[in-house]
Structure 1
């Protein structure tokens, strides 16, 4: 039995996907500054010149490797909104995609990564702020909720804080629920 012939375009897409997967893994592990084109090429079993041919620069490779960021919450009922926010925390504590980890690891040392995160978090804050009941400071309350969850995610995923790492996700969510609910409910 013969294997089907793979077209040149298919081989190119497979090579590009292999390079991106290697880049995601290395950026997640080392961040932007400490990841090199040579290391990505070696991990993908290609020549460094091919990485540059496909992506043009380390910055473009990084941008394509970390594109995905979560959508802002969409629920309108306060309890459902809190549930949705805490459910995303459960997903984050269960393991983030390597692209998201790469972005988080790089955001404090690389201005472009910081800008990317700022835009993504801004979209989440805007979406949450629009979903909050009309009250004083919806954008500030949304920013506090989003960054509180970001802090928990960083403590768990990047810093490996024992108290967060060892606690069940549902217990963390239960402890956070009153704080997130207080931010989501309009003050009386």
Structure 2
């Protein structure tokens, strides 16, 4: 059996640390997650976590980094459907990174800054796909509607949202999102 190259061992260790961090940040939030707990969960020394990430904030930032689905070049109808397509993920088994950010964004300034950066990127991307002088505002409204639905479902566990299939929620949101996407959407 050949030993893995050092770079591959390093990538695997970093992945274990990030997986453990995502799980703990999602479960406990930023404030109650410690470097020691992350290290224990990942099966490494706490000093190694610090060596890889430098600080708890940098570990958090790496753990919650998400790449939104591209929407550039989509027409208004396709844009609405792309936004609604994300509902299944947002109302289903949500990625630990997203859940960690959501759980922490209202109680920790750095988590809030990370959430603002991610949401601002999504708003900019959606806004660039829309026409009109208020495209960015309409993109912000679309994004925050989806954020509110996600928070209500995932964190507040509202029965009215949790007991409804995502397809029904999408059907009810579609007219609202169409109105925001632009006047040329049927």
Give the structure-2-normalised TM-score: 0.91
Q: Is the 8 A contact 2:72 2:128 kept in 1?
A: no
- What does 1:29-40 align with in structure 2 at a 5 Å threshold? 29-40=27-38
2:88–2:166 contact (8 Å) kept in structure 1: yes
Query: How has the CA–CA distance of structure 1 residues 77 and 34 changed in structure 2, closer, same or farther, with 3 Å as cutoff?
Result: same
Indicate the RMSD between aligned Cα atoms, in angstroms: 1.7
Q: State the SS of the aligned residue for 1:70.
A: coil
Any idea what SS the aligned residue of 1:14 has?
A: helix
Larger-Rg structure:
1
Whether the 8 Å CA contact 1:72–1:123 is kept in 2: the answer is no
Cα deviation digits, residues 131-186 of structure 1 (max 9, x gap): 2232x522211111110011001111222211111111111100111111111123
Residue in 2 aligned with 1:19?
17
Which of the numbers 8, 11, 15 marks the counterpart of 1:10? 8
Query: How many residues are paired up?
Result: 184
> Which residue, out of 154, 159, 174, partners 2:156?
159
Offset, 1:100: 1.3
For residue 53 of structure 2, what is the aligned residue in structure 1? 55
For the Cα contact (< 8 Å) 2:31–2:108, is it kept in 1?
Answer: yes
Gaps of 5+ in 1: none
Alignment of 1:1-188 (within 5 A): 3-71=1-69, 73-134=71-132, 136-186=133-183
- The CA deviation at 1:91 is 2.3
Q: Which runs of 5+ in 2 are unaligned?
A: none
